[in-house]
C-alpha cells in the first residue's frame, strides 16, 4: 500500500468493534473487518512524516508506560491521580448501585484516574451481559512489590519462578494493571485455568473496547517473560488497546514498533520535543 495513504484507522475501527470482536478459541481473539475502512493520509509533524498506525494524539505516554524486568519504574514512581475504588454496593435485586468494583474486605484498592473510570464502565458493561467481575488486585507501590518479591523468593528457596515481578518491574506499579476475577476465583490462588471461565472469555473479548489489553497473553510468554495471566488487564487507552489486541501483540512488542517509528522520525529530522515523552528509559 502507498505509504502516503497508509491507513490510520483506529478511531474509526473502534466504532466497528462490537461487530468485529469474537472469540475464536478459548484464549485467542480474532478481529475481522466486515466494512470498508476509510484511508487517511499519514500525518506529518512539522514536515516530517510519522510512519506509525497511530497518531501521537492517540497515545498518552503515561498510559502506555512500560514496566518490566528490563524497563524498571523508579522507586518513587506513583501514578497521578491515584483514586480509591468504591466497594461494591448492591440493591435488593443485586444491581450494583455505586459503580463499585471490589469486594467489601478490600476497600483500599487504588488505580490511576482514567483507568479507574474505564474499569467502572467495563464492569458495568459486563453486568449488562450477566457477568459479575471483581477487582482482586490494583495499584501496588514499589515498596509493596519489594516485600512480595522477597517473600516469594524465600518461599522458593531463592528461585525466581516468574510469578512475582521484581520491584520496579510490576505492571501494578503503573496504577493501570488490574487483576480481575469471577466470584468463585476471588479467594483462590490464580492459575491459567481461570481462562476457561465465562468471565475470562468475556473480558478477553471486550477489554479493548474499554481501553484494556490482556497484558500477559499465553502466546507471548517468551516476550513478556511472564507466565500467561488471563486475569491481568492493563489500561492503555482505547486506540492503543484496539491496535494491540487486533494485531495480537503484547505491550513490549508495541513499544518495539513505536520505538522504531520514533527513531525513524528523529532520523528524518523530526522535532525531538514531540516524541521525547515516548522514549522510556529504565530507572536502574
Q: Which residues bind Zn ion (CB under 5 A)?
A: 179, 232
Asked if 171 and 215 count as a contact pair (C-beta separation under 8 A), the reply is: yes
Query: Which residues pair with residue 112 across a beta bridge?
Result: 82
252 is catalytic: no
The b-or-e profile of 129-148 (16+ CB within 10 A means b, else e) is eebebbbbbbbbbbeebbeb
Nearer to Zn ion, 138 or 208 (CB): 138
Residues in the chain: 284
Q: How far is the CB of 165 from Zn ion (least distance, A)?
A: 9
* Residue with cell string 499519514: 42
Q: Is the dihedral of CA 163, 137, 202, 15 positive or negative?
A: negative
Asked if 136 and 172 count as a contact pair (C-beta separation under 8 A), the reply is: no
Q: How far is the CB of 176 from Zn ion (least distance, A)?
A: 11
Asked if 42 and 270 count as a contact pair (C-beta separation under 8 A), the reply is: no
Nearer to Zn ion, 179 or 199 (CB): 179
Nearer to Zn ion, 56 or 109 (CB): 109
Q: Which residue is nearest to Zn ion (CB)?
A: 232
Which member of 124, 229, 252, 284 is catalytic?
A: 229
* Residue with cell string 490510520: 8
* SS3 state of residue 17: helix
Q: How far is the CB of 172 from Zn ion (least distance, A)?
A: 6
What distance in Å separates the CA atoms of residue 163 and residue 227, rounded to the nearest whole number?
A: 7
Q: How far is the CB of 190 from Zn ion (least distance, A)?
A: 8
Nearer to Zn ion, 45 or 77 (CB): 77
Query: Which residues pair with residue 25 across a beta bridge?
Result: 28
What distance in Å separates the CA atoms of residue 156 and residue 188, rounded to the nearest whole number?
A: 20
Q: How far is the CB of 232 from Zn ion (least distance, A)?
A: 4
What distance in Å separates the CA atoms of residue 194 and residue 184, rounded to the nearest whole number?
A: 10
Nearer to Zn ion, 56 or 214 (CB): 214
Residues taking part in catalysis: 229
Amino acid at each position: 500500500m502507498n505509504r502516503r495513504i497508509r491507513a490510520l484507522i483506529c478511531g474509526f475501527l473502534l466504532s466497528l468493534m462490537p461487530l468485529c470482536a469474537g472469540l475464536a478459541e478459548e484464549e485467542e481473539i480474532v478481529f475481522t473487518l466486515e466494512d470498508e475502512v476509510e484511508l487517511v493520509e499519514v500525518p506529518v509533524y512539522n514536515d516530517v512524516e510519522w510512519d506509525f498506525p497511530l497518531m501521537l494524539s492517540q497515545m498518552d505516554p503515561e498510559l502506555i508506560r512500560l514496566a518490566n524486568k528490563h524497563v524498571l519504574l523508579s522507586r518513587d514512581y506513583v501514578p497521578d491521580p491515584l483514586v480509591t475504588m468504591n466497594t461494591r454496593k448492591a440493591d435488593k435485586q443485586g444491581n450494583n448501585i455505586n459503580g463499585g468494583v471490589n469486594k467489601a474486605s478490600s476497600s483500599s484498592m487504588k488505580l490511576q484516574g482514567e483507568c479507574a473510570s474505564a474499569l467502572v464502565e467495563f464492569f458495568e458493561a459486563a453486568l449488562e451481559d450477566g457477568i459479575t467481575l471483581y477487582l482482586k488486585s490494583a495499584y501496588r507501590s514499589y515498596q509493596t512489590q519489594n516485600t512480595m518479591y522477597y517473600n516469594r523468593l524465600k518461599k522458593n528457596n531463592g528461585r525466581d519462578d516468574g510469578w512475582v515481578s521484581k520491584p520496579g518491574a510490576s505492571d501494578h506499579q503503573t496504577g493501570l494493571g488490574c487483576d480481575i476475577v469471577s466470584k468463585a476465583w476471588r479467594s483462590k490462588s490464580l492459575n491459567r485455568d481461570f481462562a476457561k471461565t465465562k468471565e475470562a472469555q468475556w473480558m478477553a473479548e471486550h477489554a479493548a473496547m474499554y481501553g484494556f489489553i490482556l497484558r500477559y497473553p499465553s502466546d507471548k510468554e517468551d516476550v513478556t517473560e511472564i507466565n500467561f495471566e488471563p486475569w491481568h488487564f492493563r489500561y492503555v487507552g482505547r486506540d492503543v488497546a484496539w491496535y494491540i489486541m487486533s494485531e495480537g501483540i503484547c505491550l513490549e512488542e508495541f513499544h518495539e514498533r513505536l520505538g522504531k517509528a520514533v527513531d525513524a522520525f528523529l532520523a528524518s529530522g523530526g522535532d525531538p520535543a514531540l516524541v521525547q515523552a515516548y522514549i522510556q528509559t529504565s530507572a536502574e
